[in-house]
Amino acid sequence: MFVHLHTRSWFSFRAGGSGPVDLVQRAAHLGQPALALTDRHGVYGTVRFQKACRDAGVHAVLGAEVLVDDAPLVLLARDAGGYRDLCQLLTRAHLAAAGIALLDDGQMPPDTSDPLPTDQRAVPSVPLADLATLSARLLCLTGGRDGHLWHCLAHRRYKAAQHWLGTLHDVFGDTLYVELTHGLLPEDGRVALRLHDLATAEGVPPVVTNDVRFATPLHWQRYDLLTCMRLNHPVAGPHPQRPRNAEAYLKSAAQLQRLLPFCPDAFERTGEVAERCRVDLVPEYITPPSANLPEGITANKLLVDLCGAGLNRLYQPAGQAAARAQLHKELDVICGLELEEFFLVVREVVVEAKSRGIRCAGRGSAANSIVAYLLGITAVDPIRHNLLFERFLHGGRKGTPDIDVDFDSDRRDEVISWMEQRFGIEQTAMTATLITYKLRLALRDVAKALGWPMTKVDQLSQSVPSGQARDVAEHRGPIMKVLGTSPLTELLLQRVADLHLCPRHLGLHSGGMILSRKALSHFTPVQVSANGVKVVQFDKDDVEAMGLVKLDVLGLRMMACLSEGASLAQRHEGVDIDFDGMPLDDNKVYQLICSGATVGMFQIESQGQMHLIARNQPETFDDLVAEVALFRPGPLQSGMVHPFIRRRRGWDPVVYEHPSLEPILRDTYGIILFQEQILDVAHRFAGMSLAAADDFRSLMSKVHDPVRMQEMGVLFIAGAMERGIPQAIAESVFENVSHFIGYGFCRSHAAAFAQTVYHSAWMKRYHPAAHMAAFMQHRPGFYNLMTLEEEARRFGVPVLLPHINHSGTRYDLTRDRAGVLAIRKPLTAVKGLSDEVAEQIVWARMAGPFTSVEGDPRISGSQGARRPGSVRSPGCGRRQFT
């Protein structure tokens, strides 16, 4: 039995030409019962690879190409321990490349915030000495044509080859194999024969590989093009790293045996090697982080007790029955999925943030949960707002629940730093995001590689909208207009379409932080991003598949704005503002919103929202929730906005296509507005199970897939008809639902956001000076400072120029000559005056006020401050202000 043990996928980031699914399908087609995935410098594709192998009935062997003493070796994990060792090696390699040293005990350092810039980093590599302690559960192949052994023999340096092989043998012992390959390149036959002789002489068993870079010869062009793009080299020019033929694909045993007829045992041995490797990365369970439990108390008991206390605190006795019933229902599901500790951990994070005075609020689908509400994770009452827990979690839902928490953006790093200390440096890291080729990026990279000048490349990417690479042909017209009719233009279109879903590089997820019970090296290597953030090698879908739990720790500048506004109001107006306890029913606030004066308000300050508000005229909190949800691609593209407003304003009657839709859509006047409603319609109207209904909802919120939509349509209509609904009505309802494409809010998310909308509107209504000062400081909205200043003045808030003796480094409040509360611009509002210089001025002022700007030696390096009129000096006339 022969299997391929050295295979790269496109998760080698432009150093492999096929996706894991293509590779697995090819192996299955050839009747090969196993396949190894060994991408460069990482295990980025292993989760998808393992899933594809499971689906195809192929045994997955996990490994990686690792640079050891700058020579590539293939390392395969024998078991879970071997996989962990591989992850640790890769972590070391990546940290070393980033210029970060591990601690003496090999652990991750607490501070990775100062890595080398990415363009100065070396290729990740580990010294051979590191393998001494980590080799026991790894199998090693000597690397194919790029390997040091091959290189020595190709250059007739037999002694050097012998020495290297001996060194490897000392480290790996009987887990070392010499890799024989024949890529149908000049002298490959000779070198393979010498390798075989050397292996025999040194007593190291050989195995045959094809050093695979793509699944079939059809993918060779893609691989060559990706190589050129990675090397920033035009396709028309030769380069030693480019493939010289299309032979590095998944070949059959027979094809390779014709090339390497002298070593039949090396073929058989590949199957034996594969059998020695058994790792499962995709368990059927979740591994939540460890909660802080008091002595003798289980997670379940603690959760129940905390929820009970929350129930008594947040609900009046008369209203507790419904809440209690919902609580019991949710606890059954949460406990059934063994997620008690997960909820307790999230609560711990929120409690810690609040204890430090850091403003935070849970949002997203978690706001559907009364458990989240009672624990203080979210601030939205799900009973009051008729929210759907099943949108967040249900027994049939696969994977970990998604909880997003917004924090004051200025202090988000403080929260992350605390989480690292609390849960462990080794147990926490950020989720990656996979940047794949989309239309514009693919056009740029391919056009550049095909030799078009940069001016044309720039014009090209601006001539098309954002979209999928596979849809490039739809934009043939604008592309031809830029490039003209060239024989290469058709090739460009083909090659761009071919890059659909191909990964380009790894990015950093904006907030997904993994909290693991075990050290992350059990699951993934850890790298360091350009700005020093620890990041795993998997995106959120793969993290979820591995049963790891992530918490989205997001920084919201509006949170920072509200915090700072409240602080300014407290200092200058003597008012303590409690946003969390604030009723959401002040008419004056809604009047302000409906007046259209929404600059400075969260989510509703855009021109489009202003127009919508003018028509919709929200008067209650529920109206505000709908307002937030209306202005999203889903409702906008499905044409639901106009009918909703007309029905809400009483201009059109509210009608339902079928009576069974009324309880689902009553709150939104018969219009589908929220994701939960789609789930509810699929479940209650079309009879889908919760799990299928959730898939259906998920499909609606992503890019329109016609094939999947058709399949879902058949299921939906058949299910509805089984419930006695006439076919015509079932089809019509599906038609309406299917138009809800693109992202729409879930009700809980809209409700959570609507609270912040209300708070920002309340601040503007009652404390405009404090709010606008904070808004100018944090700039969480659309508009530039000039517009914000105008808005402040419209609200009777003067905006004063920076003053050398009165301005600090942030926007602040002061009383003007008339005693009116005014905004004082900071020193940094002066063009050219940096934060550092502003700090110096403030410090220097402690020795005494400035008497003038010009000529004062304490103002060094601040050309901006010296510019006449840019900063108010004592005694300067008004006409000197710019």
Partner 1 sequence: MIYGPRNCMNVTMKSYHEPIDVAVGDDGLPRTWRWRKSVWRVLRILDRWVLQSRWWTRECAEKRAYLLVEAVPETRAESYSCAVEIYLKGDGDAWILARILH
Point out which residues bind partner 1 (CB under 8 A): 184-190, 220-221, 224, 235-236, 244-247, 259, 450, 487-488, 491
Say if residues 567 and 813 touch (Cβ distance below 8 Å).
Answer: no
Say if residues 1 and 59 touch (Cβ distance below 8 Å).
Answer: no
Say if residues 601 and 558 touch (Cβ distance below 8 Å).
Answer: no
Say if residues 495 and 226 touch (Cβ distance below 8 Å).
Answer: no
Cα–Cα distance measured from residue 613 to residue 624, given in angstroms and rounded to the nearest whole number: 9
Cα distance between the two ends of the chain:
83
Cβ closest to partner 1, residue 81 vs residue 189: 189
Q: Provide the token pair at 580.
A: 């969390």
Cβ closest to partner 1, residue 235 vs residue 730: 235
Cα–Cα distance measured from residue 136 to residue 504, given in angstroms and rounded to the nearest whole number: 34
Cβ closest to partner 1, residue 228 vs residue 751: 228
Q: How far is the CB of 460 from partner 1 (least distance, A)?
A: 17
Nearest C-alpha neighbor of 763 from the set 601, 621, 595: 601
Cβ closest to partner 1, residue 194 vs residue 778: 194
Q: How far is the CB of 493 from partner 1 (least distance, A)?
A: 13
Q: How far is the CB of 708 from partner 1 (least distance, A)?
A: 34
Cα–Cα distance measured from residue 178 to residue 209, given in angstroms and rounded to the nearest whole number: 10
Cβ atoms within 10 A of the Cβ of 599, count? 22
Q: How far is the CB of 245 from partner 1 (least distance, A)?
A: 4
Q: How far is the CB of 453 from partner 1 (least distance, A)?
A: 17
Q: How far is the CB of 229 from partner 1 (least distance, A)?
A: 13
Cα–Cα distance measured from residue 318 to residue 192, given in angstroms and rounded to the nearest whole number: 83
Cα–Cα distance measured from residue 120 to residue 497, given in angstroms and rounded to the nearest whole number: 32
Q: How far is the CB of 491 from partner 1 (least distance, A)?
A: 6
Q: Provide the token pair at 846.
A: 């402690």
Cβ closest to partner 1, residue 190 vs residue 815: 190
Q: How far is the CB of 549 from partner 1 (least distance, A)?
A: 46
For residue 279, what are the contacts with CB-CB under 8 A and spacing of at least 6?
A: 60, 62, 77, 78, 79, 80, 82, 83
Cβ closest to partner 1, residue 191 vs residue 353: 191
Q: How far is the CB of 458 from partner 1 (least distance, A)?
A: 21
Q: Provide the token pair at 767.
A: 């404390």
Cβ closest to partner 1, residue 494 vs residue 595: 494
Dihedral sign for Cα atoms in the order 727, 729, 731, 733: negative
Q: How far is the CB of 235 from partner 1 (least distance, A)?
A: 5
Side-chain half-sphere exposure of 72, counting CA atoms within 13 A: 21
Nearest C-alpha neighbor of 772 from the set 568, 545, 620: 568
Cβ closest to partner 1, residue 73 vs residue 256: 256
**What is each CA distance from 590 to 607, 615, 788, in whole angstroms?**
18, 14, 21
Q: How far is the CB of 224 from partner 1 (least distance, A)?
A: 7
Q: How far is the CB of 485 from partner 1 (least distance, A)?
A: 15
Say if residues 86 and 63 touch (Cβ distance below 8 Å).
Answer: yes
**What is each CA distance from 874 to 802, 828, 849, 851, 871, in whole angstroms?**
12, 18, 9, 6, 10
Cα–Cα distance measured from residue 768 to residue 569, given in angstroms and rounded to the nearest whole number: 10
Q: Provide the token pair at 211.
A: 């050093």
876 burial type by CB count under 10 A (0-12 exposed, 13-18 middle, 19+ buried): middle
Cβ closest to partner 1, residue 293 vs residue 491: 491
Give, as one character, the DSSP assignment of residue 823. Answer: E
Dihedral sign for Cα atoms in the order 565, 567, 570, 576: positive
Cβ closest to partner 1, residue 221 vs residue 369: 221
Radius of gyration of the chain (CA): 31
Q: How far is the CB of 246 from partner 1 (least distance, A)?
A: 6
Cβ closest to partner 1, residue 199 vs residue 235: 235
Cβ closest to partner 1, residue 193 vs residue 501: 193
Q: How far is the CB of 558 from partner 1 (least distance, A)?
A: 50
Say if residues 111 and 149 touch (Cβ distance below 8 Å).
Answer: no
Cα–Cα distance measured from residue 513 to residue 431, given in angstroms and rounded to the nearest whole number: 6
Q: How far is the CB of 122 from partner 1 (least distance, A)?
A: 31
**Alpha helix (H) ranges present in 203-262?**
220-231, 253-259
Cβ closest to partner 1, residue 154 vs residue 841: 154
Nearest C-alpha neighbor of 771 from the set 579, 556, 562: 562
Q: How far is the CB of 190 from partner 1 (least distance, A)?
A: 6
Cβ closest to partner 1, residue 229 vs residue 286: 229
Instruction: Transcribe 275-322 into DSSP letters.
Output: HT-------SS-BPPPP---TT--HHHHHHHHHHHHHHHHS-GGGHHH
| Per-residue buried b or exposed e for 281-304, using 16+ beta carbons within 10 Å of the residue's own CB | bbeeebbbbbbeeeeeeebeebbb
Long-range CB contacts (within 8 A, 24+) of 657-661 = 657/729, 657/732, 657/733, 657/736, 658/685, 658/725, 658/729, 658/733, 660/684, 660/685, 660/723, 660/725, 661/685, 661/733
Q: How far is the CB of 723 from partner 1 (least distance, A)?
A: 56
Tokens 């893609």 sit at which residue? 222
Cβ closest to partner 1, residue 188 vs residue 426: 188
Cβ closest to partner 1, residue 82 vs residue 144: 144
Cβ closest to partner 1, residue 193 vs residue 435: 193
Q: How far is the CB of 185 from partner 1 (least distance, A)?
A: 5
Cβ atoms within 10 A of the Cβ of 754, count? 28
Cβ closest to partner 1, residue 189 vs residue 742: 189
